[in-house]
Amino acid sequence: MDVLDPLTDGHGRRISDLRVSVTDRCNFRCQYCMPADGLPWLDREEVLRFEEIERLVELFVALGVEDLRLTGGEPLVRRDFPRLVSMLAAIDGLEDLSLTTNGYLLERDAMALVDAGIGRINVSIDSLQRDRFFQMTRRDALPQVLRGIEAIAAFPQIHPIKVNAVAMRDFTEVEALRFAEFARSTKFQVRFIEFMPLDADRSWRPDTVLAGEELRAMIDAVHPLEELPRKPSATARVFRFRDSEGEIGFINPVSEPFCADCNRVRLTADGRLRTCLFSLHETDLRGPLRAGADDGELEEIIRAAVWRKELKHRINEPGFRRPARTMSAIGG
């Protein structure tokens, strides 16, 4: 496919990062994401087929997207998922192909994912204590997740491997130093992500957010930190430990929004384009795709949607409205 003019929004930001949710299904029930009883799943016909995802990604790459992250739900529950990875890894012009997973099936799929062409992996772990991991995820799965990380770490070409923990007040405070020691003693970069108002239980309140700066201060008091330069459009502030190897990062979308240079858009499992995690509106790409739209028509729809990309998420402003979809339905 020919390279087209870069995709830009109405605020002058160039879009180069696409997050694609391959399924809304998940084998965990994390408190900050899903209710204990789960959510109604999309019907199979509603979910984009592999070939449809491939075609849309090819078009986004032609429009200047360089980085692709595959998310869910939990991506590894999608049948034959490594085949999709291999299809996407073959797209000319795609520079970075990564995956976000809860790690439960990673031990099973590690070699297949590497062979398929995955480059980087983020694994969600909210506690390094088995009972507290169960409390947060409602699954007794920590040993299996840790085995999965070790399995993928056996392949040196997968780098970096990041461990993501959602920071929630009255829970994550006691995890901070444990995760710091984990980062200091392994090659994994630990990142704390502030709790966002995308939970299905609608329990989010401003006082449930444990700010990244609070966590950083807790860790810095014991293990002094030094901040590394922030890359353009990066979501995390990353620090290294002054007295040892290891890195730790803080993603602070609530307390320190990084909307000004956001370069990301999202494609949901049912083919809706979302220009912000907190978008109140979506653009249907599945419908035109299945109706026979050519690439030029799809490009026109995508450009129009991206041009309307929100300036910021407005979480901290009066009148903020949550999106109707929750995190598992949007894609992480």
Query: What is the span of the domain harbouring residue 74?
Result: 17-330
Sign of CA dihedral 66, 68, 103, 138: positive
50-88 residues labelled b (16+ CB within 10 A) or e (exposed):
beebbbbbbbbbbbbbebbbbbbbbbbbbeebbebbebb
First to last CA, the chain: 28
The three-state DSSP-derived secondary structure of 67-118 is: EEEEECCCHHHCCCHHHHHHHHHCCCCCCEEEEEECCCCHHHHHHHHHHHCC
Instruction: Tell whether 103 is covered by a domain.
Output: yes
CATH number at 155 reads 3.20.20.70
Instruction: Tell whether 131 is covered by a domain.
Output: yes
Considering its fold, how many domains does the chain have in total? 1
Instruction: Tell whether 24 is covered by a domain.
Output: yes
pLDDT tens-digit profile of 239-260?
A: 999 998 899 999 999 999 889 9
pLDDT tens-digit profile of 59-88?
A: 999 999 999 999 999 999 999 999 999 999
Instruction: Tell whether 36 is covered by a domain.
Output: yes
Instruction: Tell whether 10 is covered by a domain.
Output: no
Q: Measuring CA to CA, which residue among 295, 273, 299, 294 is closest to residue 284?
A: 273
Instruction: Tell whether 12 is covered by a domain.
Output: no
Instruction: Tell whether 184 is covered by a domain.
Output: yes
pLDDT tens-digit profile of 76-132?
A: 999 999 999 999 999 999 999 999 999 999 999 999 999 999 999 999 999 999 999
pLDDT tens-digit profile of 271-288?
A: 999 999 989 899 999 999
Instruction: Tell whether 79 is covered by a domain.
Output: yes
